[in-house]
Amino acid sequence: MIVTCTLNPSLDCYMEFNDEIKEGRVNRSVLEYYEAGGKGINVSVVLNNLGVPTKAYGFLGGFVKDFYLSLLSKYERIEPNFTYIEGNTRINLKLIHEDTDTDLNACGPYITDEAMENLRAKVSRLDEGDYFALCGNTQPNLNESVKEMVQELQDAKVKVILATNYDLLITLLDKKPFLVKITDDELHKYYDDLEDAKDYGRIAKELREKGAENVLVVYDNEKTVLSCEMGEFTCKFAHDDVVNSVGVGDSLVAGFLMNYIRSRDVVDSFRFGSACGSATAYSKTLATREKVDTYYQEVEVRKLND
């Protein structure tokens, strides 16, 4: 079983504009639509599109809850299993004009100790052979509880995937997570002079040597690096013009997991995950199976230093 966990999900309101968005002025959109957002949810949606069922954990609350669940109901392979809270799940605005996306993201509700204990009780039922993917922002007051939860998962021999705050992720490497995913935006806060695949491969290797089994890096929204026991590898997506940057890294994680569960081949899973990232990057929606199969034939994996 694959469980995705989104501690701070969002109701994403997309607004498309014909005219340039101007600060301090009234801007009227020409189209609006809503999606159930959050990095863990994105992973679940892509896996749903690939025919893989998941359970979705996390926190939902307030007047947003019912509408959020109704949006998820269109995905037949996602089983919502949220912990309900009194605070309102955040609403994010995604403003789109031509090739420019502007995000206005809310901070989200406060999560009480009681709510976190409820989530941990659900997580404690996972066992050897299960996969647990913690994706997206972790609220600072939950850091210690998350560390304890990850340790309990490791003790139960659950394979843990981490794609959360970099400062928290670093402290969890000694728990030996199965997979870690980071982006160039996160790395640039801590490292200088990161320019090409070799630079990102070097950092990925350092993180793996600190405890992670496999490390994925996404940079420039269209390039990926893998560090695993067989070395460091890189892959560039299939085309040049990125249409959509939302969910690219989440699609990489979803594709990697699906292929690994099927094949146990880390490098081919990296290639398949990169095809999923391509399928999201070059369309307005998250990856679908048809698009993934097309891009899988085009993406190529190269070993660094060869």
The rounded Cα 243 to chain-centroid distance in angstroms is 18
Catalytic residue among 199, 250, 265, 306: 250
Q: Give yes or no for a contact between 101 and 131, defined as CB atoms under 8 angstroms apart.
A: no
Q: What gap in Å lies between CA 137 and CA 130, rounded to an integer? A: 22
- Does the annotation count 184 as an active-site position? no
Q: What gap in Å lies between CA 129 and CA 137, rounded to an integer? A: 25
Q: Phi then psi for 235, rounded to 5 degrees?
A: -150, 135
> Beta-carbon neighbour count of residue 73 at 10 Å?
11
Angle, helices 113-123/143-155, rounded to nearest 10 degrees: 10
The two tokens of residue 67 are: 């509408």
For 79: left if phi > 0, alpha if psi spans -120 to 50, otherwise beta; the answer is beta
Q: What gap in Å lies between CA 108 and CA 247, rounded to an integer? A: 19
List the catalytic residues. Answer: 250
